Amino acid sequence: MSHILIVEDVEEVGQVLCEFAQNAGYQSKFYPQFSHSEISQYQDAALIILDLNMPINDGLDVLEELSHTGLRVPIILCSGVSEDIIDSAIDVLHDSGLVFGGKLLKPFTYEQFVAAISQAKHQTPTTMKTKTKAVELTRGDLSIAIKNGWFYSVFQPQIDVKTNMLFGVECLSRLNHPLFGECYPDAFIKKLVEENLMDEFSQELLLSSLNALASIGFPKEKRISFNIDPCSLHKDLLANLETNVSALGFLPQQICFEVTELSAVTLSKEVKSLLAKLRLRGFDISLDDFGTGFSTIHELDILPFNELKIDRSFVANMSKRKGSMAIIKHTIALAQDMNMLVIGEGVETKEQARQLKEMGCQYLQGYYFSRPLDLISLQAFMNQPINRLGAG
């Protein structure tokens, strides 16, 4: 039986939580005060419930300390304070590379507790390891990693909420380094650009990801999105791409390239022309992190994007900030008027998914539906019905 660790300064509340955990079939460990050394021994605990309001070290200090333990146990944040404070703590939790398990607003019932822990289990990533912000990779590390094939993709599902079907996957790169462990894009993307290795990296990753997807029979009618840095957009990419895509039995219409809005602001004439060529050959081009890169409506008009991705910061704040909600509404309307697809990303809750669907955003992506998955988990995901929002 696995453990639920409860970090809660009020003795009575702690006891109740322990009882709830036991009734739900878990062993429980109650810590009236946070203990770094004890908690970090429980690498295989089912989850942690953390009260944000504690007199000695408050929940945010605890998150800071936990971020140094390498713990990948989902954390449920619990508090009686207003929900927007919990939401800021959730941001801190994500930024610290910890696993968010959900939130519990005090007072809560046993039923709410059980719902929260089952949601947290759903969020448990089997493949996630420690974020690697601290790792300083050198040019040599990166170059060897490309040559040895240590970079690979995980695949985050995108859901069509009209049909409740998988629409496609976004490929997100990871590095499995023999010394540094699993590294995330924040540890290598910028450096790859600085060291002029981005091109080599993109070509290898594209091919290995397509190969991986072909090996599980990824269907022809589902899309595959890649993040691409403008410096990799040149005619060699196009030539290799067309050969590889058709050799692996995929179609150009399945492939989408995501360019962040920030990098799209300064595109050279050559890159713009290549984007247009990609569209002419049937590939999709998506403007990623839309709303954060200050592109003008004019640029949107002249660049050949056929998809907008609403940045996850707006989705995260949609229930708290009127501005975020307004930006989302207008982005959806703009996309529809311009005949573009629109994808809402960073969807973490049912409420966000419901509201986005109601506003006409047909495609959604985020932890609420699924974390980025390794190949085997993606294969299992593809064969399951997706019904997180109900029919229709």
Q: List contacts with ligand C2E (CB under 6 A).
A: 94, 156, 172-173, 184-185, 189, 205, 227-229, 258, 260, 288-289, 312, 346-348, 366-367, 372
Angstrom distance (rounded) from CA 125 to CA 371 = 7
377 interacts with Ca ion by CB under 5 A: no
Binding at 157: pick from ligand C2E, Ca ion, none (beta carbon under 5-8 Å per type): none
Angstrom distance (rounded) from CA 246 to CA 249 = 5
Binding at 204: pick from Ca ion, ligand C2E, none (beta carbon under 5-8 Å per type): none
- Residue closer to Ca ion, measured from CB, 141 or 288: 288
Spatial CA neighbour of 137 closest among 146, 125, 124, 149: 146
Residues in the chain: 392
Binding at 184: pick from Ca ion, ligand C2E, none (beta carbon under 5-8 Å per type): ligand C2E
Q: What would the two tokens of residue 234 be? A: 């040149």
Binding at 367: pick from ligand C2E, Ca ion, none (beta carbon under 5-8 Å per type): ligand C2E
- Residue closer to ligand C2E, measured from CB, 51 or 311: 311
CA-angle at 189, arms to 148 and 60, nearest 5°: 115
Q: How many residues bind Ca ion (CB under 5 A)?
A: 4
- Residue closer to ligand C2E, measured from CB, 21 or 237: 237
227 interacts with Ca ion by CB under 5 A: yes
153 interacts with Ca ion by CB under 5 A: no
Give least dist CB 52 to Ca ion, A.
28
Give least dist CB 179 to ligand C2E, A.
20
H-assigned helices in the chain: 11-23, 36-39, 59-66, 83-95, 110-123, 139-148, 189-194, 198-215, 235-247, 261-264, 269-280, 297-302, 312-317, 322-337, 350-358, 375-382
Give least dist CB 321 to ligand C2E, A.
16
Q: Phi/psi of residue 173, each to 5°?
A: -80, 150
- Residue closer to ligand C2E, measured from CB, 199 or 299: 199
Instruction: Give 224's contacts (C-beta < 8 A, 6+ positions apart).
Output: 168, 169, 171, 209, 210, 213, 218, 250, 254, 255, 256
Angstrom distance (rounded) from CA 114 to CA 125 = 19
Q: Judge contact between 85 and 106, C-beta under 8 A.
A: no
**Sign of the CA dihedral 4, 83, 364, 184?**
negative
Q: Is 227 exposed, middle or buried (0-12, 13-18, 19+ CB in 10 A)?
A: buried
- Residue closer to ligand C2E, measured from CB, 59 or 230: 230
Binding at 26: pick from ligand C2E, Ca ion, none (beta carbon under 5-8 Å per type): none
Give least dist CB 368 to ligand C2E, A.
7
Binding at 283: pick from ligand C2E, Ca ion, none (beta carbon under 5-8 Å per type): none
Give least dist CB 200 to Ca ion, A.
20
Q: What would the two tokens of residue 286 be? A: 């998506």
- Residue closer to ligand C2E, measured from CB, 59 or 291: 291
Give least dist CB 154 to ligand C2E, A.
7
- How much is the CA Rg of the chain, to the nearest whole Å? 22
User: What part of residues 250-309 is at the interface with Ca ion (CB under 5 A)?
Assistant: 258, 288-289
- Residue closer to ligand C2E, measured from CB, 39 or 120: 120
Angstrom distance (rounded) from CA 239 to CA 233 = 11
Give least dist CB 170 to Ca ion, A.
6
Give least dist CB 14 to Ca ion, A.
39
Instruction: Give 385's contacts (C-beta < 8 A, 6+ positions apart).
Output: 164
Q: What would the two tokens of residue 95 be? A: 């930024």
Binding at 205: pick from ligand C2E, Ca ion, none (beta carbon under 5-8 Å per type): ligand C2E
- Residue closer to Ca ion, measured from CB, 227 or 352: 227
- Residue closer to ligand C2E, measured from CB, 28 or 260: 260
Give least dist CB 346 to Ca ion, A.
8
Angstrom distance (rounded) from CA 62 to CA 32 = 13
Q: Which residues bind Ca ion (CB under 5 A)?
A: 227, 258, 288-289
